[in-house]
Structure formats: structure tokens, C-alpha cells
Amino acid sequence: MTDPSPRTGPGTYRQPVPVRLPCLSAAVVALLLATGLGGCGGDAPERSPSAGANSRSSAGTASAGTSERASETTSESSSGSTGGQLAGEGYAFALPDAWQDATEQFQEYSELIDAGAVNAEQAGQGFSDNLNVLRNADQAELPRAEAEQQFADELRTVASRVEVEPQATVDGVAAVHLTGRTKAGEVTALTDQYICFVEGTYYVVTFSYGAGTPAPQRERERSAMLDSWTWD
């Protein structure tokens, strides 16, 4: 992952870190990591030494990595137990039986990632279904309409067919819900993002599924994880 230089002008980013816009670019970082780490048959994003810090102020871009690095990530993630609870700072939720904690692998690429998991049964395939939770603290909450527009515009820089879905609810908290498509090597990844604001912090929950995963399974797993979600 590379760190673009700070830009100036209307609607762009400056140093020092602004109050509002970092949470938007963070959603892009989350999606890039989801597709990069899930695509064990394609290229994983390379981690720049300062990627975590600069991802707070500008949208990350995926750089060419190695298929071996991505395969290692999936193999490492498949070695532990599956299912159970996954807890982060301020929340917890239940993983499906085949899913496994992969937080350490996600955190190698961005310090903003608070938790992550993959479908361990898909290790060695072209893409592993996965999710990550990105936590961006000390933010000001955007009005709903403005948040939907700006998050969607940011997501369109790295995804196609981006749509703003009806507002969702995650354990009683309103969530912006976006959908889109990205490419992970030769695989098309279908993405759902849920963005919640809780006590001065934006949480970006990104689900990425390979297009080959049946729609009923995607819906069942995603709904189960969100339905089990609790805020501390």
C-alpha cells in the first residue's frame, strides 16, 4: 500500500489531519485490505512503513504485492480454531462456524484495523470471504445525508456499482450501508460496508465475499454476524 502525498484544494485532504474527512478515507482503506487479503490467488497489498498513520488523512491505494504473501496470510489464518466470539475495542460479535480470527494479518497493513476474520474453509481458493472492522476515533459525526454521499463518493474511487442501501441498524445504532464490487486478482469481490458512529468513533464494518459464494450464504452469514453484534 502506498502513501499519496497530501493534496490541497476543495474537497481534498491536508496536513494536519482534519476532523471530518479521515473517517471517509478509512472506509476505502478497509475495502482495499478486504480484497487484498482475501485474494489468496491474487496480489496482496504491500505495507508501507507509514501506511497506518497516513491512512488517517488520505485514501490508501493498493500496490502490487506477491501471490505468495497473500497465500501465506490465508494459510496462517487457517491454522487456528473457528467460530466463537470476536471482540474489538467497544464491541463483540459471533463468527460463523467456518470463520476464524485474522486480526493480526489485517493489522500488518493498517493500524486502524481493530479486528478481522476470514472463512478458513476457503484457504487455498482464489478468494477467502472475509470481514474487517476499522475503528477511527476522535471524529465528528456527519449528518446522515452528507455521510451517505461522502462515503459513497470515496468508495467509488476503488469500487464499481456502488449503491447506498436503506439505512441499517447494528445493535440499535443507525448505520450507513453501502454495497459495491471490486477485483481481487481474477475474482470479483462483492462488498457490504456498514458505517456506525458511536461515542466519537466511526466503526467501518466491511464484508467481502467472492462472487462464487451463493447469495443465500452471504446473506445468512452477514445477517448472523450483525444480529449478534453488541456495543460495550
With 90 as the cut, is the pLDDT of residue 1 above it? Answer: no
With 50 as the cut, is the pLDDT of residue 139 above it? Answer: yes
pTM greater than 0.75 (yes/no): no
Q: Work out the pLDDT band at 25, boundaries 50, 70, 90.
A: low
- CA 177 from chain centre, in angstroms, equals 13
Q: What is the pLDDT of residue 31?
A: 72
Q: What are the C-alpha distances in Å from 143 to residues 37, 120, 169, 193?
A: 32, 38, 16, 18
Does 45 reside within a domain? yes
Contact (Cβ atoms closer than 8 angstroms) between residue 31 and residue 206: yes
Q: Work out the pLDDT band at 26, boundaries 50, 70, 90.
A: low
Residue 92 structural domain: 22-231
Q: Which residues contact 78 (CB under 8 A, 6 or more apart)?
A: 100, 118, 120, 123
- CA 116 from chain centre, in angstroms, equals 8
Write out the H or E segment, with its range, that includes residue 227: helix 215-227
With 50 as the cut, is the pLDDT of residue 12 above it? Answer: no
Helix intervals (H) in 44-199: 51-54, 67-77, 103-107, 144-155
With 70 as the cut, is the pLDDT of residue 39 above it? Answer: no
Does 151 reside within a domain? yes
> 55-95: per-residue pLDDT in tens?
332 222 222 222 233 334 444 444 456 779 999 999 999 99
Q: What is the pLDDT of residue 103?
A: 95
Name residue 152's amino acid. A
Does 93 reside within a domain? yes
Q: What is the pLDDT of residue 124?
A: 83
Q: What is the pLDDT of residue 36?
A: 60
What CATH number is given to the structural domain containing 107?
A: 3.40.1000.10
Q: What is the pLDDT of residue 20?
A: 37
Q: What is the pLDDT of residue 27?
A: 66
Q: What is the pLDDT of residue 66?
A: 24
Q: Work out the pLDDT band at 144, boundaries 50, 70, 90.
A: very high
> Pick the residue with more confidence: 33 or 11?
33
The chain-wide mean pLDDT, for the chain, equals 75
Q: What is the pLDDT of residue 16?
A: 29
Does 145 reside within a domain? yes
Does 8 reside within a domain? no
Does 63 reside within a domain? yes
Q: Which percentage of the chain shows pLDDT scores above 90?
A: 53
With 70 as the cut, is the pLDDT of residue 48 above it? Answer: no
Return d(Cα 20, Cα 142) in angstroms, integer.
8
Q: What is the pLDDT of residue 80?
A: 55
Q: What is the pLDDT of residue 108?
A: 87
Domain count, the chain: 1
Does 1 reside within a domain? no
Does 48 reside within a domain? yes
Return d(Cα 79, Cα 88) in angstroms, integer.
21
> 173-229: per-residue pLDDT in tens?
999 999 999 987 788 999 999 999 999 999 999 999 999 999 999 999 999 999 999
